[in-house]
């Protein structure tokens, strides 16, 4: 025998000071396992019942018919286009007005109240579009919202401010690339 096993064999085995009632603990765990199995079985039965019910409903549903809701949406879209209701706000206004009055889209298009509300909405939108948001009264890009302005303001290697809109930042980057010394996109591009 080796010395290591001899030392282990020579040790005295002392009884444990553990006072746990292992039989009671074993019974408790067995009961827990039994309850878990029963719960799992009842859940499985419930799931299988629900799946069978849903399959039966699916088989009973007509397969060839299109839903009338889908057809209504197509007709509604065609009416909106025919009457010139292009924006979502105008379409939503028409839907809400038709719902309140209980009439169809084509019937409310002749209504004076609806026409007045539609005109008010269009006027409001036109005013918002024409409003001066950046000191630009002509409607043309001549202020801080042009890439040329920022190219003149920034140094060649200066970072583009993060608070600018993404579209403007991308235009500035494209302008920098076109105005570069060698106009290369990548370091290994040939001229």
As averages over each run of 10 residues, the pLDDT of the chain (191 residues) reads 53 65 88 92 90 83 55 74 85 89 84 90 83 54 75 81 86 80 62 51
Whether 91 is covered by a domain: the verdict is yes
In a domain, 44, yes or no: no
pLDDT of residue 160: 85
Which residues span the domain enclosing 115? 87-130
Instruction: Give 30: exposed, middle or buried? Use CB within 10 Å, 0-12, 13-18, 19+.
Output: exposed
Cα separation of 10 and 62, whole Å? 83
CA atoms of 109 and 91, how far apart (whole Å): 12
Distance CA 25, CA 60 (A): 53
Q: Which pLDDT score, from 0 to 100, does residue 77 have?
A: 81
Residue 62 lies in a domain: no
The pLDDT of residue 62 is 64
Residue 32 lies in a domain: no
Both tokens of 14, joined, read 């002392």
What are the residues whose beta carbons fall under 8 Å from the beta carbon of 114, sequence distance 6 or more?
93, 94, 97, 108
Look at residue 70 in the predicted model and tell me its pLDDT. 45
Q: Measured between alpha carbons, how far is 148 from 154 in angstroms, rounded to an integer?
A: 10
Please give the tally of structural domains in the chain: 2
User: Is 157 a member of any domain?
Assistant: yes
């Amino acid at each position: 025998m080796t010395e290591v096993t001899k030392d282990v064999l020579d040790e005295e085995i002392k009884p444990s000071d553990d006072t746990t009632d292992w039989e009671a603990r074993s019974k408790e765990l067995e009961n827990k396992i039994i309850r878990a199995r029963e719960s799992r079985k009842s859940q499985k039965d419930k799931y299988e019942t629900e799946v069978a019910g849903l399959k039966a409903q699916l088989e009973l549903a007509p397969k060839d018919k299109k839903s009338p809701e889908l057809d209504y949406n197509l007709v509604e879209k065609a009416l909106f286009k025919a009457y010139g209701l292009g924006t979502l706000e105008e379409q939503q206004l028409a839907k809400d007005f038709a719902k309140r009055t209980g009439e169809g889209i084509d019937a409310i298009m002749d209504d004076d109240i609806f026409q007045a509300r539609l005109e008010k909405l269009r006027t409001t939108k036109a005013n918002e579009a024409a409003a001066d948001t950046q000191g630009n009264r002509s409607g043309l890009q001549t202020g801080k919202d042009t890439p040329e302005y920022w190219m003149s303001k920034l140094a060649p290697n200066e970072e583009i401010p993060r608070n600018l809109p993404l579209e403007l930042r991308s235009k500035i980057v494209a302008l920098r690339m076109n105005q570069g010394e060698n106009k290369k996109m990548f370091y290994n591009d040939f001229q």
